Structure 1
């Protein structure tokens, strides 16, 4: 401690900070200031993993992307502040990061992050309308093959579309009040989709922090079943712990990949997350979905067929999600963490899909994945304004 009880701050090189990247020893850099987050990471509202993924690295742009109200989080940083990056320290990515931050400021001044409440109202309304139609199709036309096929396709569309919509609420991208975003997130992903908001945040924020980074992005933590990219097959082969005949994965992928992602893996993981962490609020909203679903559909279909209906719906939804998410992530680089600057990492891990009215709707506007991933806001907010400003 210095005079008057003040904490004496140090001066550190980037190489020194990089050494503090262990679970029990974590430092990060934000705006050239060094913070010891070793103990704080365990209490971090976003989870220890998402902040721990930047241990030993410059987290400036990631920090900006994950926090809407920077003034509010500054109070948490003060006790963690241990010093500054040495003056004269050369940042090899300075030019790139400077240009990216200027681009972000320009986008903010142009109003590109201002949401259209009318859009979100229409989006939610059309989802609710399809859910009502899915039920009324069986109620009025009976439970023959044609009404059942129409109904289950409508319900799968509801589940896919609410998945895209909850994504924007989960990112706190819609309302000025984060509390209101949380309320709608619980409503959409919980009551309408039947998934845990906390589980989604836990998984998805890690993905954004380190997209396509092996060992850090849960979306590419698939080596027990599949190998993707160019580096993962080599790493798995070197470990000599192969659990699957990967030379045949192009065949078995279609049997255990898209069909089972939602009905099996996600269902197991979200309930495991709820019970191991005792997230009873999440449990209530998830059960609200199941009570509603089985209360409405069991009298029409019976216990056996309502379970078949549910599983078919989840399989269709699973295919939809898998092909959208893979099309804008898996074709890109998949590598271990090389401490790439934020914008370069996001560009290497994602790609856009051609814009059209159908593609916008089908992908939930995540065909603008680069814009969403790098600036961490809803792709729809960009899509509507980019065309208005004639930006390509």
Structure 2
């Protein structure tokens, strides 16, 4: 069931009136290309049907109030105070607001900064105060980018209500800035771009350096295939140390190679990397370099041969994340191995790692069998029961009401 009615109901109960409208944006599944985005590399995500809804109404003053189904507390501040909440030098540390609200308030702050009105949002006519209520059916902590869905829904709503006229790529950049600087999560731009640019039945190939994109038809439906999401129920948070440490290792590897980012390295550079790097840094670099190539190979394979040709690339991606980048978990490994043993064409963990979800490319007729096998494997291992569901490439943000 859509979370749109929940957003409307929360708005009414929190603020005592009806919203001006309800906007939504989708979560995403990354088909392949993990941790390559902040290395200016290549990714191939797609938006999913699960969405976050923002019920929003303008106010007559300069206050912003935020309510969420995630928490009982309503957070409120003046628009001009946002610059003081999110000073660049602290980037997410010691905020005076709960982290969940930083995603929403951070978008409002980043919109002001992107339009040259940082610190002055409350004084401009178009930056009137707003009330915002958030509800979502994107699983939180599952590696499906619930954060980018929040950012996309709020950015789309404020873009309309404040009459900013910003394009989807700019709104994606706003979302990334909010996540990097307001929340303090050192993520790349893939999640926001995937959410903002989603199209039905297609993945989005993104060059994270140039931000050039290309819609890539997946052909899943015509091939009788489903993307089965296996949410391990092991939650993760990008603002915690593991993600940041991986990013720092990548930056160190690029510096040792004398290049701007690992985007500029190729598989042919790996022997030299092995001579000048410690083992951990080498393995982090090797994942990024080979993963970039796997994204390019996946685009070529799905375009030229069809979706059944990408299975081995998905499997190789998971092995690289498990062994070289070390971001998998026993639950994710069990999900992937069990799915493959029970007929999946390919499978891999998806998202930032340290928990979250795996995906399996499965024939429609085999979904129930793979689902049952994974549930049984988790029970036998003593893991928390996983949540399994299928997704298909879907459209990006919209105004629902």
TM-score (norm 1): 0.24
Larger radius of gyration: 1
Return the structure number with greater relative CO, CA threshold 8 A, min gap 6.
2
Higher helix share: 1
Higher strand share: 2
